[in-house]
Structure 1
Amino acid sequence: MAPLYRIERIDVQLHPEVADALAAGRPVVALESTIISHGLPRPDNLRIAREIEHEVRQAGAVPATIAIVDGQARIGLDDDALRAVASSDEVVKVSVRDIATVAARNGIGATTVASTAHLAALAGVKVFATGGLGGVHREARDSWDESADLTTLSRTPITVVCAGVKSILDVAATLERLETLNIGVLGFGTNAFPGFYLADSGHRLDWRVDSPAEVAAVMRAREQLSTDGYGLVVANPIPEADQLDVTLHDRVLQAGLTELDRRGVSGKNVTPFLLEFFHAQTHGASLAANVTLVLNNARVAARIAAEYAASS
């Protein structure tokens, strides 16, 4: 078992490979575990989790998948822990507010974007790859439903590579909140904010970067100007050739929103319901797009981490 490292008042277990890389200043990329436990179907989820880690390695960085296992926050998982997260029926979704409760009960939890970012930053990991960022939900004026991802990134020093936010959210409101919370947003090779399944959500971005070196330069400048206490979002679109058919996407989205209202689904059940609806109505095409964009984000994040490490 890897040794315990005391980090800012909590015990976090660093996988030996991750600990060695951080100590040597080599690139490390944090990866969330909710996509493994709740975002991908079994048994493919374990295979895909390994593929994501492989993509990070191939691009020159060390993967650090994060989860709570046996009540302990782990930064980097061995194969047994990865298998447990992928297959156990006891795995719960863990946001920042849940970390202490799951740890105190010696539970097993898969980390969301928010909790992954929080734990990665505690360990000193600078770059994090995920699928899509959480955001402001539709009808939030009435429900006040907004992802903890946003407020967490408003106070967490980490760079997150994602394919924008899911189109089931209120994209315009999410971008407004990102601005209000001082979370920087860079379009990676694009002036458009991605729409997860789609390369373009229809919303423009103020800033574009075209290489990992440019992102690393922004990260360094943020440190020098003391604005690195806020998160930085690198919006990396799914390749157009791999995105969902736009007409199909729009039709399924409208049908899903109608069904959501008809069934009275609300709160934390909205996103999993709509994602499953997309999967069923697109006959798996949305899942294929999801896997493609996650692998793409892992590659880009690793290249950014490598550039950042090289500039240290």
Structure 2
Amino acid sequence: SMVEDLCRERDTLMSERAGAANILVEMHNTRTEVLMSFFALRSANEKRRELWASILDESCFACVIPVTPYRSFPASEVQVSKCQRTILGIDGMMADTASLHVLLNSLVDRSRYPNATIKFRYTLVTEEAVVAGNQMMARWVMTTENAAQCGARMEVTKQGMLCCKFNSAHKIIGLELMFDVMALMLQLKQAAGSDTFSVVPNTVQTCQRNFDMPMLMMLADEPYTIVQVNKLWENMSNYQAEQVVGKSSCRILEGEATDPTAVEALINEIRYKRPASAMVVHYKKTGERFRNFFLAFPLSTDSRITHYLMLSTHVEPIATVLPTPKDI
């Protein structure tokens, strides 16, 4: 009968609608998981490229974020007119992630916790996420978990918005992260307990200034020849500039007690032109050992990374135990 036909049609329509709604829910869940994975890789400073490639679209991934003068980034990423920068591709994202870790790890009080690492986590506020087509907007919060235990004055928290675009395979093709840069800079300053804020240099020309810590500039490719050092570096190492500039590699201070694993990890980051930091045992020209915690920042010349800047933020002599003279 006609009534039965109409009932059947209505039932089919209802189940199709329910099916479509379920597919949307499933898709939303999958995409939320992809986004959570992105934040997990970022907070872990993940070095395995294939894990990033499983969630970011290799061919066209781009991420837009505000200009961040308080941490290292390639000069080529900046759109001057827009006060923002565009991170391109998986390698760009891995380098930017390294930069964030170098920044947060600089909050550690190295005199008390020489080898500590700052941990932080992201929370995605999914309850209020707005979804439209292949885009999703949501709020997020990033917070450090152990900065205070590592000697910082307080934990650092930043919150913001994101807009994420997915492809049909649920990989991220575009991401925009928005947050208040000034508010974060203020927090970083308070956490570090410092009055001044230093802008991280990212070009060779912005490095022609005085640094209030030992500074070395070197070529970004092997054998990493030293091109410049300051007076504080000379004092730290007992080498004169003319003895090393253009002649020696940045590895001139390594010696027997230098941990090869720490050096290898640093060199690996430099090979990929990523920012890095390291705590290494170094030797003066006179043979005395010291602990050297330094930051390594890539520097560009005409938008190509050509040099590295090494800044020693914590230098501490290692006492040599002398044999006690026998009682006479």
If the length of structure 1 is used for normalisation, what is the TM-score?
0.29
Indicate the structure (1 or 2) with the bigger Cα radius of gyration. 2
More strand by share: 2
- Point out which structure has higher relative CO (alpha carbons under 8 A, 6+ apart): 1
If the length of structure 2 is used for normalisation, what is the TM-score?
0.28
More helix by share: 1
